Amino acid sequence: MKGLKLGSTVVACSLFFASPVFASETQSTKVVEDPGVYAEVIALLEREAASQLTRHLQERGELRQVSVSIRLDMKTRSMKISFGPGYLPGPEGSYDELFLIPMASTLRFYAEKSGLDVNDIDFLFDGKALEEYYPEDLAVPPQVRAKSTHTSALISASHGYISLHPSREWKFQRPAPLGVQEDTLSPAYGDELQGLIEQRSGLTVHRARSRSTELHPESGKPWEHMSSRYHLKALFPERTDMWNEYPNSPESAREKDEDIRARPNYANHLGVDVMLSLHTNGSDSASVRGAEVYYHREKPQDKPLADSILCGMREVIHALPGYESFPVRAESVAEGHGENRIGTMPSVIVETAYHSNPEDVAALQDPVFRSAAMKGVEKGYRLWATGKSCEPLTLAPIADVEIPTQSAREIELG
């Protein structure tokens, strides 16, 4: 199936980037002005979405075709992807968020390459959102009232080993198409961010995963490579509601779903003031790249935090020699991750770069980039937490000032 997936992806990419339909940066309004070209781009996006869904269903052993239609609203810069009957994600597999959200990233990338400015993407299933099918499970819990001064944070860095059922085989949760394993890479980003937040923001920082190099007795793997689920199982063996929410699920990878929920469950247990989740992103297309930040679409109050973090990352990363043009998204994206839905505090997901893009992979392995990216996250958080806006740093020349010898003078800089 991997060979089929790769082959299909290459065909799709060639359609997008060889086609004269797609506009260059200097022709970004061509598609909007030309209804015929606009319709052709929409058709290509629909074909790509349908192809991805067919491959996804085949990998699950389901051989069927599901219709896909796409509508764009250029005023709100949003895309609505509608699936016909035959596909409805459920609680098992965390409502397919590890498939649907990467699909959204890829389609957003293709749309923007064509000159269509798209930010937020919503999915409909036979005409209804997932929240209409699962209103209780997908409801956003009541949010705690924000404190004027923050004292604590939870940093959740990536995934980690889970046990498959019934084989009890231990597997990392994320693929490593170019040799970078997100499950083991992101915790180092968490270490960097923890030090910065403790030093500069003065918070007590909790971690969702263990950083111990000792061996986890059940798996024989280092504790630092284990998922949050196992870290919390060791800390709170009696709190199965925190880390073992699907004990009767028939899904082989049910612990992946439990792990996604365990992280915000832990944040709620701690009562922290903010939850910052660190990940690397992935896409079927090796062309998609850059830093992105997500907030939950049902928690719009978290968007200012997400936008401030992006602003901080953009400023610090772009100040690095060699990274002046590293892609950092201009605006945060509304999505439906369980990880930032369940938390009762402001919760955002920072996707530092794409582990499926060669240039991003090189950056992810660069400690200088890692430091800059996390400095940007901390700065963006700190400005937001203190009620300050993140503004691009600009330098202006200082007028000549004459100061007599052995004297001093105060100068106001604008």
Give the start-to-end residue ranges of the domains of the chain: 2-133, 152-385
Average pLDDT over residues 289-296: 98
Residues comprising the chain, all counted = 414
Task: Specify the CATH class of 152-385 in words.
Answer: alpha beta
Q: Which of 183, 181, 141, 173 is nearest to 257 (CA)?
A: 173
> CB of 132 within 8 A of CB of 49?
no
Confidence of residue 15 (pLDDT cuts 50, 70, 90): very low
How buried is residue 191: exposed, middle or buried, by Cβ count under 10 Å (0-12/13-18/19+)?
middle
Of all residues in the chain, the percent with pLDDT exceeding 70 is 86
Q: Is the pLDDT score of 400 beyond 70?
A: no
- DSSP letters, 168-184, are --EE-SS--TTS--HHH
Rounded Cα distance between 278 and 226, Å, is 16
Half-sphere exposure of 57 (CA within 13 A, CB side): 17
Average pLDDT for the chain: 89
pLDDT at 55 over 60: yes
Q: Using one digit for the tens of pLDDT, what is the confidence trace for 121-175? A: 999 999 999 999 999 999 999 999 888 899 999 999 999 999 999 999 999 999 9
Give CA angle at 257 (254, 260), nearest 5°: 150
| Contact (Cβ atoms closer than 8 angstroms) between residue 344 and residue 269 | no
* Distance in angstroms (rounded) separating the CA atoms of residues 203 and 188: 19
User: For the residues 194-216, what does the mean pLDDT come to?
Assistant: 98
Token pair 């002005």 in the structure block, residue: 33
| Cα distance between residue 11 and residue 159, in whole Å | 31
CA gap 332, 380 in Å, rounded = 12
Query: Considering just the CA atoms, what is the radius of gyration of the chain in Å?
Result: 23
Of the candidate ranges 6-20, 58-72, 265-279, the one whose mean pLDDT is the lowest: 6-20
pTM recorded for the entire structure: 0.86
User: Which carries the bigger pLDDT value, residue 295 or residue 23?
Assistant: 295
Query: Looking at the domain 2-133, which fold is it?
Result: GMP Synthetase; Chain A, domain 3 (3.30.300)
Distance (Å, rounded) from C-alpha 363 to C-alpha 359? 6
- Work out the pLDDT band at 20, boundaries 50, 70, 90: very low
